[in-house]
Structure formats: C-alpha cells, structure tokens
Amino acid sequence: MENTTEAPSDDNQPEKFGVPDIIVVVVYFVFVLGVGIWSSIRASRGTVGGYFLAGRSMTWWPIGASLMSSNVGSGLFIGLAGSAAAGGLAVGGFEWNASWVLVALGWIFVPVYIASGVVTMPEYLKKRFGGKRIRIYISVLSLILYIFTKISTDIYSGALFIQVSLGWNIYLSTVILLAVTAIYTIAGGLTAVIYTDTLQTVIMVAGAFVLMFISFEKIGWYPGLEQKYMEAIPKITVANTTCHLPRADAFHIFRDPLTGDLPWPGLIFGLTVLATWVWCTDQVIVQRSLAAKNLSHAKGGSVLGGYLKILPMFFVVLPGMISKALFPDEVGCVDPAECLKYCGVEVSCSNIAYPKLVITLLPVGLKGLMIAVIMAALMSSLTSIFNSASTIFTLDVWLRIRRNAKEQELMIVGRVFILILVVISILWIPIIQAANSGLLFDYMQSVTSYLSPPITAIFILAIFIKRVNEPGAFWGLIIGLLVGLTRMIMDFVYQAPSCGEEDLRPSVLKDVHYLYFAIFLFGLTAIVCVVISLCTPAIPEQDLARMTWWTRNSPIYKEDLENDLQQEPDPAEIPTIIPVIEKEPAGPSIPAVEVLQNSSVVEDQKEKHEVAKFSWWKKLYFWFCGISIHPEVKLSSEEQKRLQRKLTSIEEKPLWRYICDINALILLAINVFLWGYFG
C-alpha cells in the first residue's frame, strides 16, 4: 500500500518538469523584469510622493488589479487550497467577505484619507489624534504584522511550491525568488509595483483558471467533486478516530456556531473585523487607493478588486478540494509517519494540495506556466508589502529619529529597509513550518485575529466618533495588544493535538474560536477607548477638520495647513504635505508641473553643467536609488497651498460618481447571491 502511494509522488517530481517548462518560466521572469524596469524608468522615483504613491497618477484598472494581486500571494494559493482540502468550502468566505470591505474602502475610508492629505496610515492617526506615541506604536506593530503574517508566509509558501515541483532546497528557492523581486521593488517604487501587479494579475487568473478546468474535467465536474470528496479517505488511518473522515458540512459555507470549524457568526462578524484591517486600514492595500488620480478612480479600483476577489473560490478553493479527492493518501494523510514521508511535516500535508495538482495534472509547458503563476502571486504580494513597509518605516519611524533628513536620505533608507525585512522574514520561516497544525492559512488568520482587531477598532472610532481622543485611542490599543498577545502566546505554547491525541489545551483556546476572539477583542478595545475618551478632554472641533467622515468636506483645513507651514514647520510633515514636487509625469492632475517647468527654465544651463560632472557609474547608482542629480526645485508657500488643495480634493464628476455607485450595488448583489447559494 505504502509503495503504491509513494511511487506516483516520486514520478511526479522534477522528471516531469521539462525544457519547455523552464523556457516558459525564464520568459516570464524576463518579461516581468522588463515591465518593472520600464515602469521604473518612466516613474517619478526621486520624491516621496513619486516613489511611495506613484505620483498620485494611477487609474482605476491598475489599482483594482494591484489590490487583487497584493492580497492573493502564494501564501493564499498554498494556504487557502490547503484549508479547503482539509475542511471544505467555508474558507472561501474569507475571499467573498472582501467585496464588502473593499466597497467600504472606496466609499468611506479613502475619502477621509484623501481629505486629510496623508501618505501612511500611522500618519493619519497622528493627524487625527495628535501626539506621537500612537503613530510610532501603529508603525512598529504594522511592521511586525507584515513579517509574521505576510512576508514570511508568502516566502515560505512560494519556496514550498518550488520544493514540491522542482525538488530544490527550500532556502535556495527563497533566495532566488527574493533576488528577482527585490530588483524592481527597490528600483521602481510603487509605480513599478502597480504595473507589474497588473501584468501578474492577468497571468495569475488565466493560469489558475486553466488548472481549474483541467481539475474539474478530471474529477467529473461539480457532481463528481461532491461524491469523490466525501469518499476521500486515506488508506492508512489512526485507530479509534474520525479525523480521517471528510466533514459532513464540507460543501456549506455557513456552519454550526458551536461545533463548526468556521462558525457562521465568526465568519460574518469576526471576519469582517479582520478584513476591515486588511482592506481599509493596512498600508499595503490603502497605498494603492491613495495612488489614484482622483476619488472616482479609487472607487473604481475598489469595485474591480471586489469582482476579482470573487474568483479565488473557484480557482483556488475548489481545486484544493479536488486535490484531496484525487490524492487522499498524500493530501489527506492523518498518520504522522505518513505525513512526514509525503511532505516533511507530521501534522498535515494539506499545504501541498495545490502544487500536487500542478505537478500531476498539467502537461509540459503548462506546468511551467503555473510555476510562473505562483511566482507571480508571490512576487506581486511581496513587492506590495515591501514597498508599503518601507513607506511606513521611512516616513513614520526614520523621520522620528532623523527629523532633518533630506529626501535623498529617505529614498536610500526606504530601499535598505527592504533588505533588512527580507533577512528577518527568512529567519522566521522555520517557525511557520511547525505552526498551527500545518495549515498555513489558519496560521495567518489566527495571528491576524490576535493583533489586528484593536487597530480596526481605533480606525473606525477615529473616522466616525469625533469625541474619541488620543488617551482613549492609545490605551485602547495597548490593552487590546496585551490581551491579544496573551492569546497568541498561548496558541504557540499549547499546540493543537494531532489525530488521536487528547486535547489538553485551556478552554479559552479549544472552546473559543479565533474569529470569536476577534469580535471580543474588537469590542474590548472600543469600550476602553470610548470610556477613557469620555473621562479626558475632547479634541477641539477645529482640529478635527477633514479628519473624520463628518468633517471630510470642511474648508477649515486649508487655512490651518497654511498656518502650520508658517508657524510650526515640522520636518516630519514636509514629505506628506508635498508628495509630488519633482519631475512628475505630465498630466492634468498635478498642477505643480507647470510651476516646475517655468521655474526650471532659469536653471537649465546650470543643471546641464552639474550633470556633466558625474561619471556614468555614479549616474547609474543615482538612478537605481532614485536620487536626483538635478538641483531641487523649491515651491513657494502659495504654490504649495495650491498643490495641496488639488491633492486633498474629494470632488467627483456626477456621471462617474453614479457609474461607481451602480457598479458597487451590482457587485454586492452578486456577492449576496453567491453567499446564499453556497451557504
């Protein structure tokens, strides 16, 4: 028995990965690098606004594609398919929930962020509440969350895929992946990231649908899946247990609120708390919307992203279930010795569900395409996280340390920090390999549910409740963090039992689902924040202008901004106030371009003389690091004010506002139908 199941596993490894596959992968990488370098050349990379916000010149379709690919990394392909193989359809609710919060992003959160004139999410909280400690706290916590729940899981899952399909060492795979990813991320900034994301979204969706149709044809379409998944029982089981049996509710999204592995109240309410953090308050996602040339394009990007997020249920979740139905002994193993033999982990082999389909079902050539798809998912996700993490560190942490840092210094610091992130993430990979029953997606979601609900609560209160102040927000965050860390540490100390073992974990772990805990933590943080705010002085009304939903259209902010520039020049705010001041792409959305063109005429001869002094290798170094070799162009206070008014405008043309509204309603109607049909 054991030999018959092991042989196919060996045969399906590198021997079937032929020369055409290698050619496809190489062509893909060359093409992506070409697009990345092209977008780097045309991008404005020498200013904070150009590098971190793509000059605020993006239209709706690359924004929507980037929202999708930034979230659908290789961790989602591997983890979502693995969780689906283990438990069925319900995990697809994580994807469909995103459509609702993406609409909230475009219609509620982004208008406030644009009106307040911010570049980063910690900066918004600093402007909304005042003080410095909340900004530093959110910055550091965001970076920690990126490392523990995003970067390391994406790197691990991408390397795992290469290990299963090519037989390479997992750390060698990691280094190769990161080398290609880092080149155009460091060089090009957000413009390069968004354009390559758009390309990779097309490749990702096309390749994943090819595998989906081949998989369905193999198993007999949906009726065949329903039958064979429920019959998928490994030959070697653990005596006197039922953990090898498929769940009776495997084909239902809504599951029992007490005994379900994903209880329906948690899936609706607890998941919304986590999704609001991911889509509406996390720098990785919001940064794409802030790069829009106006609010209508930001809304259009949200709607497109919402439509795209409906698709992973069909090209990731269902293929994951098909994989278990076709390979029950390997993907569905329950005996620790068997699992160790098939995937090197004793607790579960569910994470190999998707790569197992790729290396077994796809013909030569298409196998290379799917390798490229997973690499596209990995690289698009990593580039987005790298760019956003470096944005937060540069503007919210480094500027606290070096208050007089010049723009060139910030460009270099942002790029160097990406390299530091990579090293830390690689060191965390062994922890992930052993974490959370071998289910990568569960690991990502559970850690997120312990650390992100306090952030969600504070952002929602900041936008909707004007009475909330800095002491309330700060202590709400601190108490929420302590409670969440306690649960997270317990989760790592008390590992979930393997099949057949007695569950000796404390009741708070085995009886309180992590999605329920997210609801509790959100509520606790909100209560603490409101109570402390009511016991301390309120923020003056004029300081809330353009900072909340109710004051987003206030005209006061412009006068206050002008006064701040004259009376209180804070170096930390300069890159935020003037996010695009140098060599922006020509376009009607940036009125300062005309000012720059007029100003540069006088200095034209001087600039040519200055540029001629640098050798070719120094010019290449300056280009890669985004350092301008031209003298800086200074804007007068009146020019700064005019530019700021344009960048913080949330006005929309009525026609495009109606088009966005109608498309949002259609998206939500389709989403409700799908929830009901599969519920």
Structure tokens at 315: 């090209």
Residue 479 contacts residue 523 (beta carbons within 8 Å): no
Query: CA-CA distance, 330 to 355, in Å (whole number)?
Result: 12
- Alpha helix stretches (DSSP H) within 231-309: 264-265, 271-276, 283-290, 295-308
Token digits of residue 628 = 């301008």
**Alpha-carbon distance 231 to 240, whole Å?**
19
Q: How far is CA 554 from the centre of its chain?
A: 32
Could you give phi then psi for residue 195, rounded to 5 degrees? Answer: -70, -40
CB distance 204 to 369 below 8 Å: no
| Residues whose CB falls within 8 Å of the CB of residue 140, separated by 6 or more in sequence, listed in order | 397
* Sign of the four-CA dihedral 615, 621, 626, 627: negative
For the chain, helix, strand, coil in percent to 5 are: 75, 0, 25
Distance CA 493, CA 515 (A): 19
pLDDT digits (tens, 9 = 90+) for 217-254: 888 888 888 888 888 777 777 666 666 677 777 788 88
Question: How far is CA 231 from each of CA 115, 328, 379, 442, 478, rounded to the nearest angstrom?
Answer: 56, 9, 37, 24, 48
The SS3 call for residue 58 is strand
Angstrom distance (rounded) from CA 445 to CA 267: 12
Query: What per-residue confidence (pLDDT) applies to 91?
Result: 85
Q: How far is the C-alpha of 88 from the C-alpha of 72, rounded, in Å? A: 19
> How far, rounded to the nearest angstrom, does the alpha carbon of residue 359 sit from its chain's CA centroid?
27
What value does the CA radius of gyration of the chain take, rounded to a whole number of Å?
25
Distance CA(554)–CA(459), nearest Å, equals 20
CATH T-level fold of 2-542+654-678: Sodium/glucose cotransporter (1.20.1730)
- Give the integer Cα–Cα distance in Å for 48 and 392: 12
| CB-based contacts of 15, cutoff 8 Å, min separation 6 | none
Q: What is the pLDDT of residue 104?
A: 92
Cα dihedral: 213, 216, 222, 224 (round 10): 160
Instruction: Kindly report, residue by residue over 135-166, the tens digit of the pLDDT.
Output: 888 888 888 877 777 777 777 777 777 777 66
Amino acid at 534: L
pLDDT < 70 stretches in the chain: 1-17, 33, 35-57, 73-75, 165-171, 173-174, 176-197, 238-244, 344-347, 376-377, 379-381, 384, 407, 425, 428-442, 497-501, 503, 557-647, 649, 679
pLDDT at residue number 41: 61
Cα 310 from Cα 508, distance rounded (Å): 33
Q: What does the block give as tokens for 11?
A: 């045969």
Torsion angles phi and psi, residue 586, rounded to 5: -65, 140
pLDDT given at position 483: 93
Question: Of the candidates 284, 220, 231, 226, which has an alpha carbon nearest to the alpha carbon of residue 252?
Answer: 226
Confidence (pLDDT) at 562? 45
